[in-house]
Amino acid sequence: MTEPGRAWGDAPLIFERSRSGRRGGRVPDYGLPKPELPPGLSRARAPRLPELAEPELVRHITALADRTFGVDTGFYPLGSCTMKHNPRVNERVGLLPGFRDLHPHQEDEGAQGALELMWTLQGILAEVAGLPAVTLQPAAGSQGELTGLMLMRAYFADRGEERDTIVTADTAHGTNPASVAMAGYKLERVETDARGNLDLEDLRGKVDERTAGLMLTNPSTLGLFDEGIEEVARIFHDAGALLYYDGANLNAVVGISRPGDMGFDIVHYNLHKTFSQPHGGGGPGGGPVAVRETIEPFLPAPVVVREGDAFRLDHDRPKSIGRVRGFAGPFGVFVRSYAYMRAYGPALREMSEVAVLNANYVLAKLRDAYDLPYDRHCMHEFVLSARSLKRDHGITALDVAKRLMDYGIHPPTVYFPLVVPEALMIEPTETEPKERLDDFVDAMQAIAREAAESPELLKEAPHGRPVRRLDEVRAAKQPVLRYAFDDDPAFVG
């Protein structure tokens, strides 16, 4: 029950519930000697933690969970993020004791099952990408990007070539230019043409002997497959440069086309997007990288190799760029993704085919209610624009997104990619049935009508969520960074 005077969205903080001396449980005192901690490791002051009885803690956490919107509570068409259903059987497989309890320092001889799974997963990923060698180490797509650029740098350094520039599309994910900067390269941006492809004329003028490579998502964040990809690859390879494939949108092409066949030399995967892994809010994820033979010597060490019927971690790689994370990678993610792949088996292509079918179905239903910047068949996602709603009724993409929450639907990605004004980036994925797609279409069409008939309804949305419309400008300009009860003497800070 909500406290008097409090709205649903103004539930008490856990520190407000705290009462000094209360405990969720007590550990018996067995009178054992307390070990001496090395100097500098013991706390100077007690940690400031809330003090609650266990029922109150459970109620607080449950109340927060009830207010959370995720893929398990409703349709989640978050463009570019591939938020699809994660089969529960994969969670059970990941929690098998032999996987769950495996210690990261376990000797190779005692981890043969885990190493075999990793070795087999490497082979499946190599086949999906059309490239021969794979590292599983990177922990996420962004780390996969950085690893790919570090591999480029090592490759050219080994050849004695000084190249300092990476080309990215103006539709690139924000992590692409960030990774370029972190890797120490200069950034060169290429424009998008009227059909949503890389502008080849603009591209030709920006590729020379200083160019190290291209970072590209294909299909792009516009949800479009680049019609000139073979010519793009020729331009870079003729200049001695490499092509890097951002695998964020791989869900559209698995089993249909392979980045290696398109001409890409380095590919990263988002296991947590394409191959099932609950994600969001900062993790967990997996970002393996596949490469051509010429780049294989530089892969992070160790890599999993097979010798006869045994498997081991190979650390003897003199040209390796070294580790990019601790141990051999996010193993729990590997188990879930491997289970997902094996469940599909040879029919893995169907995953991408249905994703593309669903996206084109929704696009066909919404093309008359919103602006369509690129009038083409899309891949697994597409971008609409609310610019006509803004021009005619003062309703923005943000207003549309907020109003969708009143219909029980998570908003799509908005204002990205930046080349589309008032962008609404929608990805239904393959795991949604037609009924849910139709619900989304009905909601989007209703919102377009409301924009003309009752624009104030959208400007004040959402109306039925725990938190109403936030003042995002004020939040950015006046952030509140203090802990609750900073001045309360009951808490030792």
What band does 41 get if pLDDT is binned at 50, 70 and 90? confident
Can you give the pLDDT at residue 29?
A: 86
Q: What is the pTM of this model?
A: 0.89
Query: Is residue 319 domain-shared with residue 369, that is, in the same domain?
Result: no
Task: Say yes or no to pLDDT of 282 above 70.
Answer: no
Are 324 and 354 contained in the same domain?
A: no
Instruction: Give the model's pLDDT for residue 328.
Output: 85
Site of tokens 């950034």 = 187
Domain count along the chain:
3
490 has a pLDDT exceeding 80: no
Where does the pLDDT of residue 256 fall: very low under 50, low under 70, confident under 90, or very high at 90 and above? very high
Residue 83: inside a domain: no
Give the count of alpha carbons within 13 A of 473, CB side only: 0
Identify the domain boundary among 346, 364, 390.
Answer: 346
Instruction: Identify the domain boundary among 346, 372, 399.
Output: 346
456 and 481 fall within a common domain = no
Point out the least confidently predicted range of 36-45, 199-208, 211-220. 36-45
Q: Which residues partner with 134 through β-bridges? A: 290
Same domain, 251 and 222: yes
Q: Which residue has the tokens 């994925």?
A: 429
Instruction: Give tens-digit pLDDT for 318-364.
Output: 999 999 998 888 999 999 999 999 999 999 999 999 999 999 999 99
Classify residue 170: in a domain, yes or no: yes
Residue 460 — very low, low, confident or very high, per pLDDT cuts 50/70/90? very high
Residue 370: inside a domain: yes
Query: pLDDT value at position 276?
Result: 87
Residue 6: pLDDT band (50, 70, 90) is very low
pLDDT score of 492:
42
- pLDDT above 80 for 151: yes
Spatial distance between the Cα atoms of 287 and 269, rounded to a whole number of angstroms: 5
Nearest to 350 by CA among 424, 438, 275, 254: 254
Asked if residue 387 and residue 310 are part of one domain, the reply reads: no
Tell me if 75 is assigned to some domain.
no
Report the pLDDT value the prediction gives residue 485, as an integer from 0 to 100: 47
Task: Please indicate, yes or no, if residue 234 is contained in any of the structural domains.
Answer: yes
462 and 473 housed in the same domain:
no
The answer on 369 and 307 residing in a single domain is no
Would residue 184 count as lying in a domain? yes
Whether 73 is covered by a domain: the verdict is no
Strands 289-291, 133-135: parallel, antiparallel or unpaired by DSSP? antiparallel
Say if residue 399's pLDDT is above 70: yes
Residues 147 and 232 in one domain: yes
The answer to whether residue 5 scores a pLDDT higher than 80 is no
Instruction: Give the domain-ending residue among 290, 323, 346.
Output: 346
The answer on 247 and 101 residing in a single domain is yes
Instruction: Residue 458: give its domain's CATH number.
Output: 3.90.1150.10
Same domain, yes or no, for 432 and 492?
A: no
351 burial via Cβ count (<10 Å: 0-12, 13-18, 19+): buried
Q: What b/e readout covers 188-215, taking b as 16+ CB neighbours within 10 angstroms?
A: bebebbeebbbbeeebeebbeeebbbbb
Between CA 444 and CA 459 the distance in angstroms is 15
- Domain residue limits at 402: 350-468
Please tell me the least confidently modeled range out of 34-38, 140-144, 416-420.
34-38
Residues 357 and 248 in one domain: no
Residue 297 has pLDDT above 60, yes or no: yes
CATH number of the domain enclosing 307: 3.40.640.10
> Are 289 and 240 members of one domain?
yes
Alpha carbons 248 and 266: distance in angstroms, whole number: 14
Mean pLDDT of 415-427: 97
**77 domain-assigned:** no
In a 3-state reduction of DSSP, which class is residue 47?
coil
Q: Say how many C-beta atoms besides its own lie within 10 A of residue 28's C-beta.
A: 5
